[in-house]
């Protein structure tokens, strides 16, 4: 990262944390240059970047100010208490109708689970693919199918090491995206009928997978900013024969909440005490807005209890279908299960990503991607504050590409989903994120696509529809 | 196909069917030219090709003769009756140790489930990959992830149509190889504890999958040439609450047996009468040695009861992990199950195969592949007749790349497997093909790799080891 980018990120973090409030003046170029020991031109470059990202505005002859974010700042949503202790899961139909709503390319894709492919270096990746395939002997094809591409494995292990989490190579299984990793992890530690602790609200695919595997959900409430309620979890683990936990400790989908390191340590202590494996879905690991990459619960794992699932689908190569799992003590059963179900992710796709990680400029791409997402988040929050009713609450996550909106109780997000669909807008209604069909007055919207006049108009339309309730 | 290739195939079929016996003179060039209405040079070209494939030999001044295949022709193995009516399945450990035995690249891979990658147009495929990726818009990436690559879908539907089996496009789901197709098919029609009719001996992965899904096996004996015993099947279907059948009607793994069309019709009538879905594993569809491609049981399916699974892994693109399922009335649940487990096979891999099917010369490649496999089969059978004991029996399948050997009862193939492994030879012992651990004196050997002096030496070593029993 260049010096001016690093400085810009530091200022952005001060703004995000409220240390620099909206309307407040940011340090002058001279002050900043002296205080941070950088050249004035570096400060200028950083401020241009921040202006570009919409975080500060220049006022003629008086310097830079933190942008008055919007007409008003939306309040944080409430935390929803648990409605029932355990639940059978049946959310698939609803989730599939959201997927259906995205089939029409003319639809405004606020309901999408994927960021826009325009944000990814697809052309560069296909050059990496060509290079990777040229260097591949026929015999590699079969070898890579059981063990995974050796270069890719090395690169993934290296990235764990750089984060301060050395990973024994035997723990690593390359999978067809995080989705397969999660499926394999869950199957390797549960049997039909078992209880699994999940978040509420939760990523709907986890609900679908529980449903498919005939597992029962113990829903643990998630605070919209600080993450899963550890007291409720401790209580559930103490009283119920829970066989596995499945959580996102970082940029939780749909809330964008993250546990801090102390809470992660506490969470690990809990599962260790009860000897319950944790399936840690870390699909958004690289999409943090701040400068310091957060570490997962896996960092504390000294007994191989954490099954840590990652993917390139949301940060580099959508459609390549390459992810991985650091399977802890369950790595071997997971690997075998994979050989019995899909055998291997596509070998050329693995080779492409391996080459890209080595030569493609991954970290530069990630910085651009994070900046784009942060800008788009602000644009969507601005639009929401303009068009949505006053009582609307919204998350302000420090990464990812989802916002969670809480409306007054009278708003029925399922009806809203159907009405919006007729107007060419896809949204993800609250109940698909819950085994107990809660969150009826909530909505998840994705800002994963570059903002444009159609996005703006769609927000206005949603505002009008919400007003009719 | 060129005229001389077609004529060569016709003569090869006469040899295979025994119409032209070993040592017998094939029609002279003049006779053939007159009788088939082709030019003498076309006949010459065909005979050169047949000589090259080892089917005929030239004798000075007296023309061409059918090759005296070998020292002697091995007899067909026996058909093994069923040992018990239903069985829990636990074959994984053993199957995985066979996989393990293949990890060392120095091993002679007779135990491999894949043909040699050298037999496939990998360089041409990677050009197709580059072309396919160049033509792909970012938005296609997400679209192709749910629905599958549109060109690939069209090409697959077209190939069904050309075989005289029009396929409604909605029935088609693109999968991560046939392995995922089979898994999804089975899961969509069964629940844990259900009975599933499978072949005996059966492809060991099917046993592993049953084991994983906690399904119980009803083993139906397979004749080494004519395929599954329909009387036993009829009886089982009448008496047991079988929820699904999983069969390979063509080039069955491990026996290489194929049902003829009348038997396929009868099989379909049976499952239709009992309303039991058939999961038809047709992974070797393109690997027939004869000129006429056989049609699957699916050809008779007028009620959507047949879940027909295919793949490009064994005939074109190993490691790309692209297959499909024509799911009949179960297509929608199968498609949904896929979205919940792996979402999609790799989009670039799909694009590469789509381009190759349109522009790469697939049918020419398939002809070369079939010729190579047929030659390799003869080489392995010749070696077996030289090195294996006199009582050895062997299949002579009309396609694929597996031979099934039956030795005298005293030969323990599990011990043989371990001994051979120490000598650097991987083999697949009989018991991995049975839920009831039968076939202890049998062995599956793959001729999927080009024959070389090491293969010859390995057969001699196996012969020596077998002699010690």
- The nearest CA of chain A is from the CA of B208 a distance in Å of 7
- What pLDDT shows up at residue B71? 41
Examine the pLDDT at A468 and tell me if it is beyond 90.
Answer: yes
- At A144, the pLDDT band (50, 70, 90 cuts) reads confident
Q: Is the pLDDT of residue B23 over 90?
A: no
Task: For residue A205, list chain B residues with Cβ-Cβ distance below 8 A.
Answer: 340
Length of chain B measured in residues: 469
Joined tokens for residue B453: 């002096």
Largest CA distance in chain A: 68
Task: Determine the average pLDDT of the residues in B337-366.
Answer: 93
Judge whether B367 and B289 are in contact, CB under 8 Å.
Answer: no
Q: Which residue of A has its CA nearest to B185?
A: A341
In A, minimum Cα distance to B322 occurs at A346
Residue A72 is predicted with a pLDDT of 53
Top mean-pLDDT range of B124-128, B160-164, B271-275: B271-275
A303-323 pLDDT, tens per residue?
A: 999 999 999 999 999 999 999
A189-203, A213-227, B60-74, B168-182: which range is least confident on average? B60-74
For residue B136, which residues of chain A lie inside 8 Å, CB to CB?
Answer: 122
Tell me if the bond preceding B201 is cis, omega within 30° of 0.
yes
Residue A91 pLDDT grade (very low, low, confident, very high; cuts 50, 70, 90): low
Burial class, A17, CB count within 10 angstroms (exposed 0-12 / middle 13-18 / buried 19+): exposed
> Which of the 8 DSSP states describes residue A170?
G
A60-74, A365-379, A443-457, B450-464: range with lowest mean pLDDT = A60-74
Mean pLDDT of all residues in B141-170: 90
> Residue B270's pLDDT is what?
98
**ω before B362 within 30° of 0 (cis)?**
no
Read off φ and ψ for residue B274, nearest 5 degrees.
-90, 0
Decide if pLDDT at A128 tops 80: yes
The predicted structure's pLDDT at residue B253: 96
Q: How far apart are CA B393 and CA B442, in angstroms?
A: 9
Structure tokens at B197: 């009719």
Q: Return the beta strands (E) in A345-392 as ranges.
A: none
What's chain B's average pLDDT?
91
With vertex at residue B276, the alpha carbon angle to CA B234 and CA B238, rounded to the nearest 5 degrees, is 30
Query: Nearest CA to CA, how far is A243 from chain B (Å)?
Result: 18
- A117 to chain B: nearest residue by CA? B138
C-alpha A196/C-alpha A218 separation (Å) is 6
Using one digit for the tens of pLDDT, what is the confidence trace for B49-90? Answer: 888 777 888 887 778 888 876 445 677 888 877 767 777 666
Q: Which chain A residues are Cβ-neighbours of B187 within 8 angstroms?
A: 212
Choose the weakest-confidence range: A206-215, A260-269, B223-232, B327-336.
A206-215
- pLDDT tens figures, B278-315: 999 999 999 999 878 899 999 999 999 999 999 999 99
Whether residue A180 lies within 8 A of chain B, CB to CB, comes out as: yes
Answer for the pair B406, B77: CB distance below 8 angstroms, yes or no.
Answer: yes
> Could you report the per-residue pLDDT of A12-57, keeping only the tens digit for each?
888 877 788 888 888 888 888 888 889 988 998 888 888 877 788 8
Indicate whether A455 pLDDT > 90: yes
Question: What is Dmax (Cα atoms) for chain B?
Answer: 68
Query: DSSP code of B63?
Result: E
How far apart are alpha carbons A372 and B92 in whole angstroms? 48
For testing the chain B interface, which of A94, A97, A119, A142 should be mutated: the one with the most B CBs within 10 Å?
A142
CA–CA separation, B285 and B251 (whole Å): 8
Instruction: List pLDDT tens digits, range A240-267.
Output: 999 999 999 999 999 999 999 999 999 9
Q: Is the peptide bond before B227 cis (omega within 30 degrees of 0)?
A: no
Closest residue by Cα to residue B446 from B455, B433, B434, B457: B455
Q: What ipTM score was computed for the predicted complex, to two decimals?
A: 0.84
At residue A135 the predicted structure's pLDDT band, cuts being 50, 70 and 90, is confident
In the sheet that holds B306-311, the strands lie side by side as: B172-175, B323-326, B306-311, B278-281, B242-247, B195-200, B216-223, B227-228
pLDDT on residue B70:
42
Q: Pick from A133, A344, A352: which is nearest to B321 by CB?
A: A344
Per-residue pLDDT of A378-407, as tens digits, reads 999 999 999 999 899 999 999 999 999 999
Does residue A449 belong to the interface with chain B, where contact is any CB pair within 8 Å? no
3-state secondary structure of A189: helix
pLDDT exceeds 50 at position A117: yes
**Residue matched to tokens 């016996």:** B21
Segment A273-304, tens digit of pLDDT: 999 999 999 999 999 998 788 999 999 999 99
Looking at the DSSP bridge assignments, the partners of residue A75 are: A393
CA terminus-to-terminus distance, chain A: 48
pLDDT at B144: 78
Reading the block at residue B226, the tokens are 């004519």
Residue B321's nearest CA partner among A180, A96, A50, A283 is A180
For residues B464 and B469, give the distance between their C-alpha atoms in angstroms, rounded to a whole number: 10
Tens digit of each residue's pLDDT (9 = 90 or more) over A336-391: 999 989 999 999 999 999 999 999 899 999 999 999 999 999 999 999 999 999 89
Q: Is the pLDDT of residue A71 over 50?
A: no
CA distance B159 to B161: 5
pLDDT at residue B324 tops 90: yes
pLDDT computed for residue A23 by the predictor: 84
Tokens representing B420 are 């051979």
Banded pLDDT at A97 (limits 50, 70, 90): confident
Check if A414 contacts B (Cβ < 8 Å): no
Q: Do B321 and A347 touch (CB under 8 A)?
A: yes
The pLDDT of residue A89 is: 66
Q: Which sequence spans correspond to the domains of chain A?
A: 3-66, 92-118+364-467, 120-359
Angle between helix A3-16 and A40-52 (nearest 10): 50
Mean pLDDT in residue range B330-346: 93
**Do you find a cis peptide bond into B238, omega within 30 degrees of 0?**
no
Based on the number of CB atoms within 10 Å of its own CB, is B317 exposed (0-12), middle (13-18) or buried (19 or more)?
A: buried
**Is it true that domain B92-118+364-467 has CATH number 3.40.50.620?**
no
Percentage of chain B exceeding pLDDT 70: 97
Q: How far apart are CA B170 and CA B167, in angstroms?
A: 8
Scan residues 117-146 of A and list those with Cβ closer than 8 Å to B: 117-118, 120, 122, 126, 129-130, 133-134, 136, 138-139, 141-146
Question: How far is the alpha carbon of B210 from chain A, nearest alpha carbon, in Å?
Answer: 10
Topology annotation, domain A120-359: 3.40.640
Binding-face residues of A in 354-373 toward B, CB within 8 A? none
What are the angstrom distances between the C-alpha of B267 and each of A175, B160, B174, B398?
A: 37, 20, 26, 21
The CATH code of domain A3-66 reads: 1.10.10.10
Q: Higher-confidence residue: A434 or A326? A: A326
Is residue B312 a contact partner of residue B323, using CB atoms and an 8 Å limit? yes
Positive or negative torsion for Cα B224, B225, B228, B229: negative
Total CB pairs under 8 A between chain A and B: 179
Residue B73 pLDDT? 64
């Amino acid at each position: 990262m260049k010096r001016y980018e690093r400085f810009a990120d530091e200022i952005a973090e001060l703004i995000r944390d409220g240390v620099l409030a909206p309307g407040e003046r940011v340090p002058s170029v001279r002050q900043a240059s002296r205080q941070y020991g950088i050249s004035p031109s570096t400060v200028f470059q950083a401020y241009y970047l921040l202006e570009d990202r919409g975080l500060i505005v220049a006022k003629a002859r008086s310097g830079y100010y933190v942008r008055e974010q919007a007409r008003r700042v939306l309040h944080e949503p409430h935390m929803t208490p648990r409605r029932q202790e355990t639940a059978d899961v049946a959310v698939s139909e609803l989730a599939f109708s959201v997927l259906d709503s995205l089939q029409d390319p003319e639809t405004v894709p606020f309901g999408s689970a994927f960021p826009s492919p325009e944000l990814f270096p697809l052309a560069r990746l296909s050059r990496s693919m060509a290079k990777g395939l040229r260097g591949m002997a026929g015999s590699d094809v079969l070898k890579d199918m059981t063990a995974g591409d050796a270069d890719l494995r090395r690169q993934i292990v290296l990235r764990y090491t750089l984060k301060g989490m050395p990973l024994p190579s035997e723990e690593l299984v390359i999978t067809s995206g995080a989705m397969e990793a999660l499926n394999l992890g869950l199957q390797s530690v549960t049997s039909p009928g078992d209880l699994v602790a999940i978040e509420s609200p939760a990523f709907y695919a986890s609900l679908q997978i529980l449903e498919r595997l005939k597992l029962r959900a113990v829903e643990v409430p998630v605070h919209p900013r600080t993450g899963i309620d550890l007291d409720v979890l401790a209580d559930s683990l103490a009283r119920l024969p829970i066989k596995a936990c499945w959580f996102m400790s970082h940029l939780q989908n749909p809330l964008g909440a993250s546990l801090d390191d102390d809470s992660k340590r506490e969470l690990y202590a809990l599962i260790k005490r009860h000897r319950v494996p944790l399936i840690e879905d870390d699909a958004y690991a690289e999409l943090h807005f701040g400068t310091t990459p957060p570490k997962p619960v896996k960092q504390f794992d000294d007994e191989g209890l954490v099954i840590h699932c990652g993917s390139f689908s949301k940060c580099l190569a959508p459609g390549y279908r390459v992810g991985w799992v650091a399977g802890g003590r369950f790595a071997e059963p997971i690997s075998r299960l994979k050989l019995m179900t899909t055998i291997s992710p596509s070998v050329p796709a693995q080779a492409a990503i391996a080459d890209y990680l080595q030569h493609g400029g991954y970290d530069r791409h990630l910085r651009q991607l994070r900046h784009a997402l942060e800008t788009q988040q602000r644009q969507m929050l601005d639009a929401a504050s303009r068009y949505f009713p006053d009582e609307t609450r919204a998350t302000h996550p420090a990464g990812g590409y989802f916002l969670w909106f809480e409306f007054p109780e009278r708003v029925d997000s399922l009806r809203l989903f159907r009405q919006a669909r007729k107007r060419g807008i896809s949204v993800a209604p609250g109940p698909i994120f819950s085994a107990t069909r809660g969150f009826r007055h909530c909505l998840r919207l994705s800002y994963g696509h570059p903002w444009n006049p159609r996005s703006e108009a769609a927000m206005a339309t949603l505002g009008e529809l919400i007003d009719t309730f």
